[in-house]
């Protein structure tokens, strides 16, 4: 690292020299991207201890105070943030991917301490010998830090609810450089805010989760999942969506269902469905899989059983901004009868990659809206539009008719960093509470990257 690069910034503390990477460092090109974009930060701090996180935050505070409050400051855990805010140009990135240990502290109670830089595939692998599971995202390289502060819609969302609903406590470095252990008793206001409020209150270094024990007596696979994949098509999307929602709503909570919809023309919509049964195949699962095949014109289908850890195995693919996309989403409490027509129209627009839908009804709906900073606790369906990045300027207009139907927005699945989007994510009392907390714990707005109030 060349110490002159940041000549106008306060001198880098000795303690940070060993973890600092700048544009002259060998590792710079490897470290300046996330999954979606490549940034040009002036400085990357690759923390290896919680002490490094504290020292980094103190140093960034000094830079902001002495140089400019507009210098960007990003957190990066897994680098899969759809907000794309974990890298920046001209600022600092605090990367905690080396803080990635997973420790089962009480196997009987299912208590697991996970450092926020771990990725979910590695968490699943570490929990496999204990027959424990934390319902998280469906892709193994997704990071713990971003997902577990945003929400966490996993393959067991209909059985176990959101990932944030399994957090027992969290270690958080706040803007004053203090480490705060938060739970229902200690700093309950911060504990409320980090479950759904993203990174606005500080950087979480570790979570304690209460994992769930799922054991099947007759299976030789630890935590088996039976997965049905269906490639099909429909000429009546509204009817299909209604029937799909009725099918999944009446299905056992052991079943989850994700859809990806695409189209070349307005007459036919292609459906890639993945239906996940938490367990080995049995008569209940067989009946449900059979009825799933009657919802559309099936071209191809397949059933396979895998362990949960295999299903979400982390490929650890290095980041180079390889997915130039833009994503908008809504949460839906009820299904509008026009939704199929609206989606069919969007699907043939330029730049559209597809529309994803997931059933999320169940335990998510049993938590009161004021218990966490995830606002919409009535949501039954999650819907996301994936666009090529170069068409992002049209995203608002394109998504408008769907946006109007939404009752909420999931922060971790939105690339729209406008203030209007933050208002949709954290409306009403949730927003007011978050703003008060920011004023209390981060009055100088150090953590103003990403979705922010």
Ligand X SMILES: Cc1cc2nc3c(=O)[nH]c(=O)nc-3n(C[C@H](O)[C@H](O)[C@H](O)COP(=O)(O)OP(=O)(O)OC[C@H]3O[C@@H](n4cnc5c(N)ncnc54)[C@H](O)[C@@H]3O)c2cc1C
- Contact set with ligand X (CB under 6 A): 34-35, 74-83, 85-86, 96, 116, 137-139, 142-143, 145-147, 149-153, 198-199, 203-204, 412-413, 449-450
The residues, any chain, with a CB within 8 Å of residue 220's CB and separated by 6 or more, are none
Please state the closest distance from residue 429 (CB atom) to ligand X, in A.
22
Please state the closest distance from residue 75 (CB atom) to ligand X, in A.
4
Comparing CB distances to ligand X, the nearer of 293 and 419 is 419
Please state the closest distance from residue 341 (CB atom) to ligand X, in A.
27
Comparing CB distances to ligand X, the nearer of 37 and 63 is 37
CA distance 215 to 197: 33
Q: For residue 349, what are its two tokens?
A: 């627009």
Contact 434, 453 (CB under 8 A): yes
Which DSSP state fits 185? S
Comparing CB distances to ligand X, the nearer of 202 and 340 is 202
Please state the closest distance from residue 222 (CB atom) to ligand X, in A.
21
Please state the closest distance from residue 302 (CB atom) to ligand X, in A.
20
Nearest residue to ligand X, using CB? 146
Please state the closest distance from residue 413 (CB atom) to ligand X, in A.
5
SS3 at position 297: strand
Please state the closest distance from residue 73 (CB atom) to ligand X, in A.
10
Comparing CB distances to ligand X, the nearer of 234 and 328 is 328
Please state the closest distance from residue 22 (CB atom) to ligand X, in A.
20
Q: How is 36-89 classified by DSSP, letter by letter?
A: S-B-B-SEEEE-SSHHHHHHHHHHHHHHHHHT-TTS-EEEESSS--TT-TTS-B
Comparing CB distances to ligand X, the nearer of 57 and 85 is 85
Comparing CB distances to ligand X, the nearer of 323 and 336 is 323
Comparing CB distances to ligand X, the nearer of 228 and 411 is 411
Which DSSP state fits 341? H
Q: How is 219-244 classified by DSSP, letter by letter?
A: -SSSSEEEEEEEEEEES-HHHHHHHH
Comparing CB distances to ligand X, the nearer of 295 and 360 is 360
Comparing CB distances to ligand X, the nearer of 50 and 231 is 50
Contact 116, 76 (CB under 8 A): no
Reported as type and span, the H/E element at residue 330 is strand 325-332
Contact 221, 280 (CB under 8 A): yes
Cα–Cα separations (whole angstroms), residue 94 to 42, 97, 106, 302: 12, 9, 31, 43
Q: For residue 148, what are its two tokens?
A: 């577990």
Residue 25 burial class via C-beta count within 10 angstroms: exposed 0-12, middle 13-18, buried 19 and up = middle
CA distance 360 to 256: 8
Please state the closest distance from residue 452 (CB atom) to ligand X, in A.
9
Neighbours of 298 (CB within 10 A): 15
Comparing CB distances to ligand X, the nearer of 75 and 238 is 75
Which DSSP state fits 406? -
Which DSSP state fits 98? T
Please state the closest distance from residue 36 (CB atom) to ligand X, in A.
7
């Amino acid at each position: 690292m060349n110490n002159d690069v940041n000549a106008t910034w306060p001198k880098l503390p000795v303690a940070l020299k060993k973890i600092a990477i700048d544009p002259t460092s060998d590792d710079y090109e490897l470290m300046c991207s996330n999954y979606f974009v490549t940034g040009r930060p002036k400085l990357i701090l690759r923390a290896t201890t919680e002490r490094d996180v504290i020292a980094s935050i103190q140093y960034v505070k000094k830079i902001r105070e002495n140089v400019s409050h507009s210098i960007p400051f990003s957190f990066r855990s897994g680098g899969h943030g759809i907000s794309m805010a974990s890298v920046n140009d001209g600022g600092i990135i605090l990367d905690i991917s080396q803080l990635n240990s997973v420790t089962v502290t009480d196997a009987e109670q299912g208590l697991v301490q996970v450092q926020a830089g771990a990725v979910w595939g590695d968490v699943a692998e570490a929990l496999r010998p204990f027959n424990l599971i934390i319902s998280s995202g469906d892709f193994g390289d997704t990071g713990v830090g971003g997902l577990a502060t945003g929400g966490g819609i996993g393959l067991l969302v209909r059985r176990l609810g959101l990932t944030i609903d399994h957090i027992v406590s969290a270690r958080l470095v706040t803007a004053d450089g203090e480490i705060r252990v938060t739970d229902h008793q200690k700093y309950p206001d911060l504990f409320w805010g980090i479950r759904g409020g993203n990174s606005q209150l500080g950087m979480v270094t570790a979570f304690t989760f209460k994992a769930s024990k799922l054991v099947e007596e007759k299976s030789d696979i630890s935590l088996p999942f039976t997965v049905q994949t269906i490639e099909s098509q429909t000429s009546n999307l509204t009817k299909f969506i209604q029937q799909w929602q009725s099918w999944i709503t009446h299905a056992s909570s052991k079943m989850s269902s994700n859809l990806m919809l695409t189209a070349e023309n307005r007459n036919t919509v292609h459906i890639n469905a993945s239906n996940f049964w938490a367990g080995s195949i049995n008569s209940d699962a067989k009946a449900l899989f059979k009825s799933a095949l009657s919802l559309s014109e099936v071209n191809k289908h397949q059933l396979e059983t895998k362990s949960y850890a295999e299903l979400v195995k982390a490929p650890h693919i290095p980041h180079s901004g390889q997915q130039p996309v833009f994503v908008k989403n809504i949460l839906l409490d009820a299904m509008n009868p026009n939704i199929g027509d609206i989606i069919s129209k969007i699907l043939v627009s330029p730049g559209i990659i597809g529309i994803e839908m997931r059933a999320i009804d169940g335990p998510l709906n049993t938590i009161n809206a004021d218990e966490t900073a995830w606002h919409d606790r009535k949501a039954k369906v999650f819907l996301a539009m994936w666009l090529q990045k170069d068409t992002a300027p049209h995203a608002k207009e394109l998504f408008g008719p769907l946006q109007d139907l939404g009752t909420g927005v999931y922060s971790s699945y939105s690339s729209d960093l406008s203030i209007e989007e933050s208002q949709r994510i954290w409306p009403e009392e949730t927003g007011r509470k978050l703003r008060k907390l920011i004023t209390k714990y981060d009055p100088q707005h150090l953590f103003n990257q990403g979705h922010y109030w």
